Amino acid sequence: MATRPLRLALFGSGRIGQVHARNLAADPSIELAMIADPFIDGAQALAEATGSRAVQDPEEVFANTTLDGVIIGSPTNTHVDLMTRAAAKGLAVLCEKPIDLDLDTVLACREHLKDADAPIMLGFNRRFDPGFNAVNARVAAGEIGELEQLTIISRDPAPAPRSYLETSGGIFRDMTIHDLDMARFFVPDIVEVTAVGANLFSEDIKELGDYDSVVVTLRGSKGELISITNSRHCSYGYDQRLEAFGPNGMLEARNLTPTAVSKHSAEGTGQLDPIFNFFLERYADAYRLELQAFAEAIRTGASPKPGFADGLAALVLADAALESATNGKTVKVDRIW
Amino acid sequence: MATRPLRLALFGSGRIGQVHARNLAADPSIELAMIADPFIDGAQALAEATGSRAVQDPEEVFANTTLDGVIIGSPTNTHVDLMTRAAAKGLAVLCEKPIDLDLDTVLACREHLKDADAPIMLGFNRRFDPGFNAVNARVAAGEIGELEQLTIISRDPAPAPRSYLETSGGIFRDMTIHDLDMARFFVPDIVEVTAVGANLFSEDIKELGDYDSVVVTLRGSKGELISITNSRHCSYGYDQRLEAFGPNGMLEARNLTPTAVSKHSAEGTGQLDPIFNFFLERYADAYRLELQAFAEAIRTGASPKPGFADGLAALVLADAALESATNGKTVKVDRIW
Amino acid sequence: MATRPLRLALFGSGRIGQVHARNLAADPSIELAMIADPFIDGAQALAEATGSRAVQDPEEVFANTTLDGVIIGSPTNTHVDLMTRAAAKGLAVLCEKPIDLDLDTVLACREHLKDADAPIMLGFNRRFDPGFNAVNARVAAGEIGELEQLTIISRDPAPAPRSYLETSGGIFRDMTIHDLDMARFFVPDIVEVTAVGANLFSEDIKELGDYDSVVVTLRGSKGELISITNSRHCSYGYDQRLEAFGPNGMLEARNLTPTAVSKHSAEGTGQLDPIFNFFLERYADAYRLELQAFAEAIRTGASPKPGFADGLAALVLADAALESATNGKTVKVDRIW
Amino acid sequence: MATRPLRLALFGSGRIGQVHARNLAADPSIELAMIADPFIDGAQALAEATGSRAVQDPEEVFANTTLDGVIIGSPTNTHVDLMTRAAAKGLAVLCEKPIDLDLDTVLACREHLKDADAPIMLGFNRRFDPGFNAVNARVAAGEIGELEQLTIISRDPAPAPRSYLETSGGIFRDMTIHDLDMARFFVPDIVEVTAVGANLFSEDIKELGDYDSVVVTLRGSKGELISITNSRHCSYGYDQRLEAFGPNGMLEARNLTPTAVSKHSAEGTGQLDPIFNFFLERYADAYRLELQAFAEAIRTGASPKPGFADGLAALVLADAALESATNGKTVKVDRIW
């Protein structure tokens, strides 16, 4: 069946749904059969731009027997339901992170999914970033020896609106969770979490009882030390870097700039363009490659990575980080995933 | 007519034709109606991969009355004929460089095209490279003041095969011509050419009476000094850089690497990946953006840039460079374009 | 008294003493009157090379009434005694860090020094590194707004010999103490210490009950978050970097390389020389500028910075880090200094 | 005689004399015995600062029989006379470039020096710049294979005052001469010179019949191609770079910045400090190392490099460049040196 394109449906026509829809439209080997969104106007506009079909009712997706899989880009509180139903139909699933903000809900979901053997992939897009992915592959290939330290710096350009922050689950579950998964991309077995949080600039975030800045230290099962530094704002763009350190060297993934043009003037030397300010631009390649990996997994029948267990693990670590920051104690993590 | 996709045909299913075909296939606003190539097998394979139709006889293209334009990616000696016929049919033309290796043939072609007012665009793809394009735009916007000096360094990874070199027209018409156009992108009026050539490594090229390494100095009509350094080989990849210098600063476009990952080890510090080794990878963005510019010109009826006159001008400069290198004298250029 | 050179004596002709002696010899405005060391051979050799005079007995230094100050570069366990006696004579003191490894001894020393008002400077040389110093000055000048996060990465090329490690006081008091002082250079008031340690590569260090790798998180009195990453080995040299982050930008001090020469080859792009592998080379400028600051303080009568209180504070933080790493709890720090 | 310091005298207490005097003062193995300058006030001030003795009459230098050598940092028109007389006395000579602006005068001087076998070193300081020197050594060691192309970019921060320009000998003899010597540092045998000049910004320079901007192409005896780009002004500092290209790679010496601190902000990424704006700062290391090489040559009896012949060769090339720029022809160079 090499010649039949994959047939996928997309839930959600918002920001992230648009990214996926456009990437699907540019890939001749995949057909975007349907875009489902209760806000039918958005779905319609996106369907028109990408040669797809808009539907309002998710039932139309599940009723369609020609589909190979679904992409869940709808709000977080719909993830578990859509994922469970799609899996029950035997559809492959690519679900945006997080599975859910509540650990018990995720564990219950896992129970439900046990019998379905549908492949489930979690949308931790950063694993597919060419830079981070290359560092990971080179570490795995032994280029720097056994990993000893990993330093992740990750700062958002600006806090989300207060309305979003209220339901975000807090910085650890909403933002740090990406870095926790990145840590697990390098060191899957994390055994200890130590976190410190601060309120340095946002009154909104403070009022919500959340932190705007955190530093998290993880320990892997072989003793590896991982340091994550987060801020909810960053004047110079979307700061996304990491360094992997081992006995034979260090691999560093720096920020990306739109071009390799630099300016030399009386004000300074070698000034590159500002880095990307928006996650969709910064991770454009990552989203495209993530989709390819999902399609490849469907075609080959391989288990997609990162999977459900990775989504669960990241949430466990986020909860542990919150507990540590609250109590001023290192939290040991049971490997429940 | 916003909703009907543009309909284009492509001549040539070789290396460059494949780039264009894939870029067309990924753009939902353009339909690649036909791929014409006497080597029908290549055309067929490419048509299949891109959802197009293969034809052997170019007449089928010219007989089709639904087309908006053609892309000429066939061998150089077919350019003038295909361009002339397409223009006579009122089709927009994107023609790969060079128009022809012979100046008289190009001038005769210009004569023929006079009556047709079809838009013709020349495939000097580097103008669309995001880095070079950004430097050009920033210079035009006055960021460094009036341009005084332009330094272009351009080295191919390795010489083409001898069979190709024999019909290439020599380094100035085949390779330097890109840099001559780049020079004209910044300084359209070139009034003087001084060139020096050398044989440093290739016996093949020497036997053909050609140079493998050249340095060319151009003078613009306002006195601007432009320096071009070329080599037919480069161990570290496809070296493509430029610097624009003016009274208020310098803008530098450095080579591109696949990622922003660098290695720090006992052998060295901040070592990035090797730069791209192949022009199709190095200029992937440029080819895509060139096509968009062509489509945009068709849609808006604007004259596409670079145009026929730019193709002619670059050839005039290449011929002047050869004359200068041969005679050891600066050659004044009449502005015949 | 602009014309009379300062007259200084130096205790210790070891590695650090040699640095100071050579810097003194190259400064025509300072006279190195004596070098005192019980190992008289070393003192003699150094005195010859620098045009000074060697003495075995420290009493000769204290008996000399023409001196302006002393530099204490002898072993740690001599610091308190020499410092106290020099101060009692009214001599200015530049003492290498640490004052002592034992907090009670340092506090007792402070008691003794109370009545003497001799200026005491602590040899936290990194404050005088041109890069770190420039970042500090630019932060103080408000260039990035109020400091929010500081990231310090500091790795030694290789562990000291076991004999040294045994008396070093452990990684926090011996190595991290430099970074703790660097943290206080930016954020003098530290209120909380959280530390995590690991044994990743050195059996020797493990046997001594010490860590070879640590991550320390500090909180400043305004909430600032500071992250320190240390390793006792580093294959690519003496890794010494920091980043200061605030609402208006980030200032980054990268590692230094001997030249600005980079290599471009099939193996990689823009590869600089390996960074310095030895602290005396890496901080050559810092040692020179530290000495100038000491001399300047003597001449002007200003209090030298960093002073005794800074040496004490760094030790308090080091002890707190050890406690935190041992107990898995954040340790609050009383501002006893 | 390892223990006796070298005894040197210095002619000239101007800008360059001050650099040498301070470097001599900081080197305990050299004694600066005398500073000679008809402007005795300058000599006196400098002598005081460096612990030397000022004399007005050069005869006092030549009368002193304890000297090992002299450094000639006085105006150009005194060079030949002082050099000839010092050499006649058997004194080693380090003479600032150029020997003289007039080729016949230099040739006559060579005639005079024939019988003296005093070692003469020419002050082409850039050869001692750690970056350029490292590239040269690495090329010589075969790291990139046989050198094929050398690209030198060299721009002064601002034109000298008109009074200086009037007697400077023109851009080729005054400014390009440094780059011509740098070219010869890599490729001693230059056989051809092609030059192009322009007047782009300075009315003063234009009125003097000189160029403010030039591009020079040299050919070595093995065919090597060397490109030099000069400008008499540069808003971003003293632009001093080169690239050496061979079959196995490229070595690039970039501009130096005072620190490795970079700024990341909404305006741009990785912005280093402005590069040095003044030749004494940019080449501080080079001047110091040049002096060490001179002292080393005296001590070992080796011929100092670069020598008189190098000063002559650079002048021959500068004259050839002027001829080429004037006539629009490549000029062949007889190897008269």
Distance CA C64, CA D176 (A): 58
Distance CA C63, CA C50 (A): 22
Q: Do D247 and B235 touch (CB under 8 A)?
A: yes
Query: In the prediction, which pLDDT does B150 show?
Result: 98
D276 Cα to chain A: minimum distance (Å): 10
Cis ω on the peptide bond leading into residue A306 (within 30° of 0)? yes
3-state secondary structure A303-334: CCCCEHHHHHHHHHHHHHHHHHHHHCECEECC
Q: Do C198 and A214 touch (CB under 8 A)?
A: no
Spatial CA neighbour of B135 closest among D163, A259, C260, D205: A259
Cis ω on the peptide bond leading into residue C306 (within 30° of 0)? yes
Query: In the prediction, which pLDDT does B2 show?
Result: 43
With beta carbons under 8 A apart, name residues in chain D contacting C144: 265
Distance CA C144, CA A16 (A): 32
Contact D63, D34 (CB under 8 A): no
Percent of chain A with pLDDT strictly greater than 70: 98
Spatial CA neighbour of D219 closest among D245, D190, D247, D242: D190
b/e sequence D95-104, b meaning 16+ C-beta within 10 Å: bbbbbbbbbe
Report the residue from C251, C255, C259 with minimal CB separation from D131: C259
Convert the pLDDT of each residue in D182-205 to its tens digit.
Answer: 999 999 999 999 999 999 999 999
The C-alpha angle B29, B31, B32, rounded to 5 degrees, equals: 140
Average pLDDT over residues D206-227: 98
Residues in a beta bridge with A155:
A231, A239
With beta carbons under 8 A apart, name residues in chain B contacting A27: 26
Spatial CA neighbour of C218 closest among C182, C191, C240: C191
Q: Which of A262, A271, A275, A289 to mutate to test the interface with B (most CBs of B within 10 A)?
A: A262
Average pLDDT over residues A167-179: 96
Whole-number mean pLDDT of chain A? Answer: 95
Distance CA B23, CA B306 (A): 20
Using an 8 Å CB-CB cutoff, list residues of chain D that contact chain C. Answer: 25-28, 49-51, 130-131, 134-135, 138, 143-144, 248-256, 258-266, 270, 273
- Chain B and chain C share a number of CB contacts under 8 A equal to 65
Spatial CA neighbour of D175 closest among D157, D150, D193, D190: D157
Residue A123 identity:
G
Using N-to-C axis directions, what is the helix angle for C308-327 and C103-113, rounded to 10°? 160
Spatial CA neighbour of B179 closest among B105, B255, B126: B126
Average pLDDT over residues A207-227: 98
Query: In the prediction, which pLDDT does C28 show?
Result: 81
Convert the pLDDT of each residue in C41-64 to its tens digit.
Answer: 999 999 998 989 999 999 999 999
Query: In the prediction, which pLDDT does C336 show?
Result: 60
Contact B191, B148 (CB under 8 A): no
Distance CA A271, CA A94 (A): 39
Query: In the prediction, which pLDDT does D115 show?
Result: 82
Convert the pLDDT of each residue in C166-221 to its tens digit.
Answer: 999 999 999 999 999 999 999 999 999 999 999 999 999 999 999 999 999 999 99
Cα distances (Å, whole numbers) of residue C287 to B7, C5, C125: 71, 19, 6
Using an 8 Å CB-CB cutoff, list residues of chain A that contact chain B. Answer: 25-28, 49-51, 130-131, 134-135, 138, 143-144, 248-256, 258-266, 270, 273
Distance CA B82, CA B99 (A): 11
Query: In the prediction, which pLDDT does B1 show?
Result: 33
Cα distances (Å, whole numbers) of residue C246 to A199, C162, C251, D269: 13, 41, 9, 15
Convert the pLDDT of each residue in D247-292 to its tens digit.
Answer: 999 999 999 999 999 999 999 999 999 999 988 899 999 999 999 9
β B331-332/D6-11 pair status: unpaired
Convert the pLDDT of each residue in D251-261 to its tens digit.
Answer: 999 999 999 99
DSSP reduced 3-state for A264 = strand
For the whole prediction, is pTM greater than 0.90? yes
Q: Do D254 and C261 touch (CB under 8 A)?
A: yes
Query: In the prediction, which pLDDT does D337 show?
Result: 58
Query: In the prediction, which pLDDT does D2 show?
Result: 43
Q: Do C263 and D253 touch (CB under 8 A)?
A: no
Helices then strands (H, E): number in chain D? 13, 15
pLDDT higher than threshold 90 for residue D226: yes
Distance CA A2, CA B188 (A): 50
Whole-number mean pLDDT of chain B? Answer: 95
* Phi, psi (rounded to 5 degrees) for B133: -65, -40
Integer Rg of chain A from CA: 20
Close Cβ partners of C41 (under 8 Å, ≥ 6 residues apart): none
* Phi, psi (rounded to 5 degrees) for C26: -85, 0
Q: Which two tokens stand for residue D270?
A: 């990785």
Whole-number mean pLDDT of chain C? Answer: 95
Spatial CA neighbour of B138 closest among C52, C35, A258, D265: A258
Residue C289 identity:
L
Distance CA C71, CA C37 (A): 12
Average pLDDT over residues C225-229: 98
Contact C40, C57 (CB under 8 A): no
Convert the pLDDT of each residue in A257-297 to its tens digit.
Answer: 999 999 999 999 999 999 999 888 999 999 999 999 999 99
With beta carbons under 8 A apart, name residues in chain B contacting D214: 225
Host H or E run for residue C276:
none
β C149-155/C239-246 pair status: antiparallel
With beta carbons under 8 A apart, name residues in chain B contacting D229: 149, 151, 225, 227
Convert the pLDDT of each residue in A305-335 to its tens digit.
Answer: 999 999 999 999 999 999 999 999 999 998 6
DSSP reduced 3-state for C31 = strand
**ipTM greater than 0.85, yes or no?**
yes
Going along chain D, which residue ranges are E strands? Answer: 6-11, 30-36, 54-55, 69-72, 92-96, 120-123, 149-155, 190-198, 213-220, 225-231, 239-246, 249-253, 261-265, 268-272, 331-332
Distance CA B205, CA B161 (A): 10
Contact C229, C156 (CB under 8 A): no
Contact B179, B240 (CB under 8 A): no
Query: In the prediction, which pLDDT does A278 show?
Result: 86
Whole-number mean pLDDT of chain D? Answer: 95
Distance CA B229, CA B213 (A): 8
Contact D278, A274 (CB under 8 A): no
With beta carbons under 8 A apart, name residues in chain C contacting D144: 265
Integer Rg of chain B from CA: 20
Using N-to-C axis directions, what is the helix angle for B177-186 and B130-140, rounded to 10°? 30
Query: In the prediction, which pLDDT does D221 show?
Result: 96
With beta carbons under 8 A apart, name residues in chain B contacting D329: 328-330
Q: Which two tokens stand for residue A227?
A: 């340091």
